[in-house]
């Protein structure tokens, strides 16, 4: 695993802003059957346009009908990844936020436990010193 510095709140907010500004999901990976490529071309489409993609050329799509067009060595995998990223990124950001809050809670609890332990150690030391003094009398 790569050792990286903790992401700052500004970095996380910038990622959230980019995700919020992107085309609303869900997005659907879809193989365009009219592709001339032997591997096929894949589109990431919004649901209301999925059926229309079979009948239209890319140029005739209205703006927003398709978000990404994929060809090359792994068009299906790239398309599926991007389509799922539309929801995965916000979900992962929510999970990071939840974990950071949990980490803060655990850090606070650890600090409380450490203070309690130090207090008990002091009490034990004081009791030992008191017992040691009573034995001398």
The answer to whether 70 and 42 are in contact (CB under 8 A) is: yes
For residue 119, what pLDDT is reported? 92
**Rg, C-alpha atoms of the chain:** 29
The answer to whether 86 and 25 are in contact (CB under 8 A) is: yes
For residue 70, what pLDDT is reported? 76
Short-list 96, 68, 72, CA closest to 84: 68
For residue 31, what pLDDT is reported? 75
The answer to whether 82 and 72 are in contact (CB under 8 A) is: no
Residues 6+ apart with CB under 8 A from 81: none
For residue 94, what pLDDT is reported? 95
Q: Where are the domains of the chain?
A: 9-136
Give the span between the Cα atoms of 50 and 29, in whole angstroms: 9
Give the span between the Cα atoms of 79 and 88, in whole angstroms: 14
How confident is the prediction along the chain (137 residues), in pLDDT tens digits per residue?
456 778 899 999 999 999 999 887 788 887 766 655 555 677 777 766 555 555 455 555 544 566 677 777 788 888 888 888 988 999 999 999 999 999 888 888 999 999 999 999 999 998 888 887 665 55
For residue 68, what pLDDT is reported? 75
For residue 1, what pLDDT is reported? 47
Give the span between the Cα atoms of 42 and 31, in whole angstroms: 4
Instruction: Give the three-state DSSP class for 32.
Output: strand
For residue 53, what pLDDT is reported? 52
Q: How much is the pTM?
A: 0.63
For residue 36, what pLDDT is reported? 56
């Amino acid at each position: 695993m790569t050792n990286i510095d903790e992401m700052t709140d500004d970095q996380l907010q910038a990622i959230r802003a980019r995700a919020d500004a992107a085309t609303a999901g869900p997005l659907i990976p879809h193989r365009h059957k009219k592709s001339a490529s032997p591997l096929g071309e894949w589109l990431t489409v919004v649901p209301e346009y999925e059926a229309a993609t079979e009948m239209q050329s890319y140029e005739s799509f209205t703006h927003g009908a398709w978000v990404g067009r994929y060809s090359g060595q792994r068009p299906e995998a790239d398309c599926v990844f991007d389509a799922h990223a539309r929801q995965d990124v916000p979900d992962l950001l929510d999970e990071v936020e939840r974990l950071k809050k949990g980490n803060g809670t655990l850090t606070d609890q650890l600090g409380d436990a450490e203070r309690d332990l130090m207090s008990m150690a002091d009490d034990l030391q004081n009791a030992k010193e008191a017992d040691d003094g009573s034995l001398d009398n």
